[in-house]
A and B are shown apart, each in its own frame.
Chain A
Amino acid sequence: MPADTASDPDGSASDPAEPVSVTGWGRTAPTTARVVRPRTYEEAAAAVRACGVRGGIARGLGRAYGDAAQNAGGAVLDMTGLDRVHAIDVDGGTVLCDAGVSLHRLMEVLLPLGWFVPVTPGTRQVTVGGAIGADIHGKNHHVSGSFARHVLSFELLTADGAIRTVGRGTPLFDATAGGMGLTGVILTATVRLQPVETSLMSVDTERTADLDDLMARLTATDHRYRYSVAWIDLLARGRSTGRSVLTRGEHAPLDALPPRARRRPLAFRPPRFPSAPAFVPEGLLGRGTVGLFNELWYRKAPRARTGELQRIPAFFHPLDGVPHWNRIYGRGGFVQYQFVVGHGREEALRRIVRRIAERRCPSFLAVLKRFGEGDPGWLSFPMPGWTLALDIPANLPRLGAFLDELDEEVAGAGGRVYLAKDARLRPELLADMYPRLTEFRELRAELDPRGVFTSDLSRRLDL
């Protein structure tokens, strides 16, 4: 299937003039584009100038689930060739690096120096440029906000071919943070870092009986932890609807480590398992298998455990150990549905969780998190409240209509869905979900009147 070559386009190996099939991480809706891999800022500028009528879009490591980093018939700029870390301020805790540098690379470089990235999502395999473009969040959102909040400035290659230095608090900064790459191509960024004493996490785990129990615990004690997220069993019904395993943690201080580990407290050696096979039969992850997995996962979690030491990959990025894990959903791919509803809208969240449980969506990667303050990016996703993310195989019958109904619930409760994960939102709902969409469109019309920066996402949702 052409989509396979697509998940990580390797520009160095392929002829840039030859269109290749590109998909997002969910492997749905493939389209073809010329993939160009600039190695210098000049090459990036030349690629933008050469985009042609169908425009171009920057792409990092392709972890956006939907069509954000595809551009049918146009150009896709694979930014992973711009991967230099330029300068680290070891005392002040900032790093200046190219946009194509991955968070994985940053961790390798920074952890031995006692610094950590300010925000990490569920995978290290995202680039700094993508982290800004999607304004990603992590388990520390309730304390630290989203990624762009820790970005001091970045350099942006705009449609006119100019390279602008964009500082915090400017309209262009706030349009680009969460702007899905549609304001231009980020070339470099200066990011503020998080000091750590060790590369281990001190983790508290608890099981909750149902959704209300979970929300009560999060409301009461989340502020005590820097990192917090709950895995939620969306196949459990009846009284245990929304039962979860809540894991919360901190960077472990040096004195929490056993003596042996104290000798190399900042070691970072992520484990690597074999890739998921290229072909997986459809329907492997059905209700039976996922139900069984969820049951075991819930049962194996301790009722309550405190102060367990975990490595960074195990705590933050458990799936990164299995390359191409997205193949497990088979040829049909999967969609990830992530929404947020504000505080005081718990009833909407309960209704949605109940509906998903009753619908028996086989979802084993479902997480619930309590967000902190919203972020300044115009199209940034987070808002204070509750966010739920779940994976669903795309071949589930009538899934499209079902998710549309959930969208109505979300929009009705003043919430929104996450564009970095979206592959199917009804365009008419976008303006309700993102009230600053008009400003975003105006800025884009002014900055990029010819629409040089275009993606399948921007076409589909008319961004």
Chain B
Amino acid sequence: MKDAFGAPQSLLILGGTSEIALATARRLIARRTRTVWLAGRPSPALERDAEHLRALGADVRTLAFDALDPESHETVLGKVFTEGDLDMVLLAFGVLGDQARDEREPVAAARIAQTNYTGAVSALLVCARALQTQGHGSLVVLSSVAGERARRSNFIYGSSKAGLDAFAQGLGDALHGTGVHVMVVRPGFVRTKMTAGRAEGPLATTPEAVATAVEVGLRRRSETVWVPGALRLVMAVLRHVPRAVFRRLPI
């Protein structure tokens, strides 16, 4: 059960090697989290990440999960919920792709959409139903500021996050009053291995900062969290910039 400050005791991470997710897990283990499930494609990295979290004192288990195989989600994720309540599910999987290459390879572009959006849709629906049955829990969805308004430089990734973001908002409204809390997290540029070598955007942030924002959001039962918080204002302005101007902006 979550405590009065929204700190969960058990956590399921979809996308178990995500740096943001792991930073969040570390932060929550320092509070109340004792059980962690890391779901992801089986890999030495996933096991290594699990080991790191174990060293912090949590009971960590890994779970073979593939976002690109929605047919399996019901079985794979359903099994986790039969082993006990989950206070929080963190949807953290996602691929960034390579905009220039993906524009030339439609199949690669479609895979980004399938992972970030289609895969998330089925995983979220499976988790939402299970959380609703247990009558409590938070569903935290890592969206992106890139989904707020598609940009020339990364609209394939951006559009997949836009879809995810819209879906998560709708799901949050559908689950309002059921005891299940859906929180959409929109980080800006986060310095991780996924973004290594790319030009840093303005207001760049770190996985730890996102983790802190998630913890605060859980306490406040927020529905939308921007990291850093200033992005809320920045994007409120950018959203209304005329197209002709927007496409010329160096962002």
Chain A residues packing against B (C-beta within 8 Å): 2, 19, 21, 26, 28-33, 54, 66-67, 71-74, 332-333, 335, 394-395, 399-401, 423-424, 426-427, 456, 459-460
Contact = CB atoms under 8 A, between A and B. Distances in A.
Given A31-B135, A33-B135, A395-B219, A424 B177 contact: no
A400 B178 contact: no
A155 B193 CA distance: 63
A394 B136 CA distance: 19
B136 A400 contact: no
Interface stretch (B1-9, B69-77, B90-98): B1-9
B86 to A, nearest CB: 12
Interface string B138-180: 0000000000000000000000000000000000000011110
Given A54-B135, A73-B135, A19 B179 contact: yes
Query: Which of B9, B32, B176 has most chain A Cβ within 10 Å?
Result: B32
Contacts of B179: 19, 21, 30-32, 72-73
Contacts of A424: 3-5, 7
Given A73-B135, A73-B136, A394-B219, A400 B31 contact: yes
Interface of B: 1-7, 9, 31-32, 85, 133-136, 176-179, 219-220
Contacts, number: 76
B135 A74 contact: yes
A175 B104 CA distance: 71
Contacts of B2: 29
A340 to B, nearest CB: 20
A460 B32 CA distance: 10
A32 B7 CA distance: 18
Given A31-B135, A33-B135, A459 B85 contact: yes
Contacts of B32: 426
Given A54-B134, A459-B85, A32 B3 contact: no
B163 to A, nearest CB: 28
A400 B5 contact: yes
B5 A32 contact: no
A26 to B, nearest CB: 7
Nearest to A31: B136
A442 B9 CA distance: 24
B3 A460 contact: yes
